[in-house]
Amino acid sequence: MDYLNDMALFVEVVKAQSFRRAAQGLGMPNSTLSRRVALLEQGIGLRLMNRTTRKIELTEGGRLYYERCRRIVDEARIAHEELGDMVARPVGLLRVSLPVDFATSYLAAPIHEFATLNPGISFDLDLTPRNVDLVREPFDLAIRMASPENPSLISRVIARLPSECYASPGYIERHGEPAHPDDLASHRCLSMSTMPHWALESGGQTARPAITSHYRMNSMAMIRQMALLGVGVALLSERLVADDLAHGRLRRVLPQWAGAARPIYAVTETRLLPAKTQRFIEFLKKRLQHA
């Protein structure tokens, strides 16, 4: 059954994209790791990867073998964790991809609190608007503000983010203040690229105004900045603009209407999650309900 251990070593090399980094993480000599993977290839009768001094590159057979092995190794690791102390006290490195604006506004404090409660866990946080490839890239989890397009990924709603309409006093003075969502058709609206259509709710009613915009962005911080410049009406969460409201730089418009709560997703490659990932998702879900 040695090939099962070698299979796990092969998976770690691919994740690290380097024999040296994988060996350091595993606490074993680089030469031993290289020899074990070579024995695995000999046992299979197929080259799994091409090695250079700078990187490794999977062969076609290696890619197929890695996808199968990764699931087997993950399930074996989870089975071990469920019977060990790691369930009670999860440990290890947690690699998370996060949307920049949402993470800085909503997640900094919860992540710090979780790390304090779980000192055995360290974080590698990648703040990016890019939809990382959870299958091919070494991430345990991605937090996203849109449901993943890949149907094989597992998404869980961990929060629903409310939003309201805001504009600068200068914009309102020049263009007037909308009295009903339908009035937004004659205004410039600042929209997220992932949310080109707005849905506003009030007392059980829903309005879907026809909005037009010269700008569509993938950054809530940029939308806020454009609203401050008087470019248009923005649909944002109150937390992002709380200081601007307090100092009169922005005003809420259509105060009887609010944007339909936007779901926030925790996305993983599989439902079988290590204790560290599962605990983190549960923690965020609990904290964000009170955000």
Taking residues 152-164, what's their average pLDDT?
92
Largest interatomic CA distance in the chain: 76
Judge whether residue 184 has pLDDT over 90: yes
Number of domains the chain contains: 3
Residue ending a domain, choose from 83, 105, 133: 83
Taking residues 8-30, what's their average pLDDT?
88
pLDDT tens column, 103-156: 998 999 999 999 999 998 999 999 988 888 888 888 999 999 888 878 889 999
Predicted pLDDT at 84: 63
Judge whether residue 81 has pLDDT over 80: no
168 and 184 both lie in a single domain: yes
Predicted pLDDT at 16: 87
The CATH number linked to 227 is 3.40.190.290
For 87, the enclosing helix (H) or strand (E) is helix 85-88
The partner residues of 233 in beta bridges, in order of sequence, read 189
Nearest CA-CA partner of 69 in 116, 134, 13: 13
Judge whether residue 194 has pLDDT over 80: no
275 and 146 both lie in a single domain: yes
- With cut-offs at 50, 70 and 90, classify the pLDDT of residue 1: low
31 and 56 both lie in a single domain: yes
Token digits of residue 210: 């026809």
138 and 74 both lie in a single domain: no
Nearest CA-CA partner of 142 in 175, 115, 102, 112: 102
Predicted pLDDT at 178: 94
Residue bearing tokens 């345990």: 140
pLDDT tens column, 231-248: 999 999 988 899 999 999
Predicted pLDDT at 53: 63
* Three-class secondary structure of residue 202 per DSSP: strand
* Three-class secondary structure of residue 209 per DSSP: coil
123 neighbors 94 (Cβ within 8 angstroms): yes
Helix, strand, coil share (%) of the chain residues, nearest 5: 45, 25, 30
Predicted pLDDT at 291: 61
Predicted pLDDT at 235: 93
Predicted pLDDT at 204: 87
201 and 254 both lie in a single domain: yes
201 and 128 both lie in a single domain: no
> DSSP states of 106-119 as a string?
IIHHHHHHHHHH-T
* Three-class secondary structure of residue 105 per DSSP: helix
Taking residues 21-48, what's their average pLDDT?
89
- With cut-offs at 50, 70 and 90, classify the pLDDT of residue 274: confident
The rounded mean pLDDT for the chain is: 89
144 and 279 both lie in a single domain: yes
CA 173 to chain CA mean position, Å: 39
Exposure b/e, 91-114, CB count within 10 A at least 16 = b: bbebbbbbbebbbebbbeebbeeb
135 and 72 both lie in a single domain: no
The CATH number linked to 67 is 1.10.10.10
The CATH number linked to 142 is 3.40.190.10
pLDDT tens column, 215-226: 888 888 899 999
Predicted pLDDT at 272: 82
75 and 14 both lie in a single domain: yes
Residue bearing tokens 């005003």: 251
pTM of the model: 0.68
Residue ending a domain, choose from 44, 65, 83: 83
Q: Rounded to whole angstroms, how far apart are CA atoms 6 and 23?
A: 13
Query: Pick the residue with more confidence: 147 or 286?
Result: 286
113 and 249 both lie in a single domain: no
At CA 130, angle to CA 236 and CA 140, rounded to 5?
105
Parent domain of 100? 92-152+269-288
